[in-house]
Structure 1
Amino acid sequence: MPSVASMLPALDTPRLLLRQRKLDDLEACLAMDRDPEVTRYIAGPWHDPVAHRQFVEHRIVRAYPPGLGYWSIREASAPDRFLGWVLLIPDHGAGPEVEIGWRLVRDAWGRGIASEAAQALVRHAFDTVRLPRVVADIQAANTASLRIAQKLGMRFVGHVDSDGAPYDRYRLERDDLRAG
Structure 2
Amino acid sequence: MVVLPSFETERLYLKPRTMADLEACLAMDRDTEVTKFIPGPWSDPAKHEQFLAERIKKSFGPGLGYWSIFPKEQPSQFVGWILLIPYDGHGREIEIGWRLNRLAWGKGYATEAARRVLEHAFDTAGVDRVVADIHPENQSSIRVAEKIGLTYVGDGMHDGNPCKSYARTRKDYGGHDSV
TM-score by length of 2: 0.95
What is the DSSP-based 3-state SS (H/G/I as helix, E as strand, rest coil) of the residue aligned with 2:147? helix
- Judge which range, 91-100 or 137-146, deviates more: 91-100
Q: Which amino acid aligns with 2:69?
A: I
Using the TM superposition, give the Cα deviation of residue 63 of structure 1 relative to its aligned residue in structure 2, in angstroms: 1.4
Give 1:159-170 correspondences, 5 Å limit. 159-170=155-166
1:107 equivalent in structure 2:
103
2:70 equivalent in structure 1:
74
Q: Which amino acid aligns with 1:39?
A: T
2:83 equivalent in structure 1:
87
Q: Which amino acid aligns with 1:14?
A: E
Q: Which amino acid aligns with 1:148?
A: V
What is the DSSP-based 3-state SS (H/G/I as helix, E as strand, rest coil) of the residue aligned with 1:157? strand
What is the alpha-carbon distance in structure 2 between the residues aligned to residue 93 and residue 109 of structure 1?
25
Residue by residue over 1:78-121, the C-alpha shift from the partner in whole angstroms, topping out at 9 and shown as x without a partner, is: 11100000000000122210000000000100000000000000
Q: Of 136, 139, 146, which residue of structure 2 is paired with 1:140?
A: 136
Q: Of 16, 20, 24, which residue of structure 2 is paired with 1:28?
A: 24
Using the TM superposition, give the Cα deviation of residue 167 of structure 1 relative to its aligned residue in structure 2, in angstroms: 1.1
Structure 2: runs of 5+ lacking an equivalent: none
Using the TM superposition, give the Cα deviation of residue 160 of structure 1 relative to its aligned residue in structure 2, in angstroms: 2.6
TM-score by length of 1: 0.95
The two structures, once aligned, show a CA RMSD in angstroms of: 1.1
2:169 equivalent in structure 1:
173
What is the alpha-carbon distance in structure 2 between the residues aligned to residue 178 and residue 92 of structure 1?
26
Q: Which amino acid aligns with 2:134?
A: I
Residue by residue over 1:30-88, the C-alpha shift from the partner in whole angstroms, topping out at 9 and shown as x without a partner, is: 00000000000001111111110000000000111110000000011211100000000
Using the TM superposition, give the Cα deviation of residue 141 of structure 1 relative to its aligned residue in structure 2, in angstroms: 0.4
What is the alpha-carbon distance in structure 2 between the residues aligned to residue 99 and residue 42 of structure 1?
15
Q: Does 1:44 align with 2:37?
A: no
What is the alpha-carbon distance in structure 2 between the residues aligned to residue 161 and residue 30 of structure 1?
26
Percent sequence identity over aligned pairs: 52
What is the DSSP-based 3-state SS (H/G/I as helix, E as strand, rest coil) of the residue aligned with 1:57? helix
How many residues are treated as equivalent by the alignment? 176
What is the alpha-carbon distance in structure 1 between the residues aligned to residue 150 and residue 133 of structure 2?
11
1:7 equivalent in structure 2:
3
Structure 1: runs of 5+ lacking an equivalent: none
Query: Which 4+ runs in 1 deviate beyond 3 A?
Result: none
What is the alpha-carbon distance in structure 2 between the residues aligned to residue 109 and residue 14 of structure 1?
17
What is the alpha-carbon distance in structure 2 between the residues aligned to residue 110 and residue 93 of structure 1?
28
What is the alpha-carbon distance in structure 1 between the residues aligned to residue 127 and residue 2 of structure 2?
18
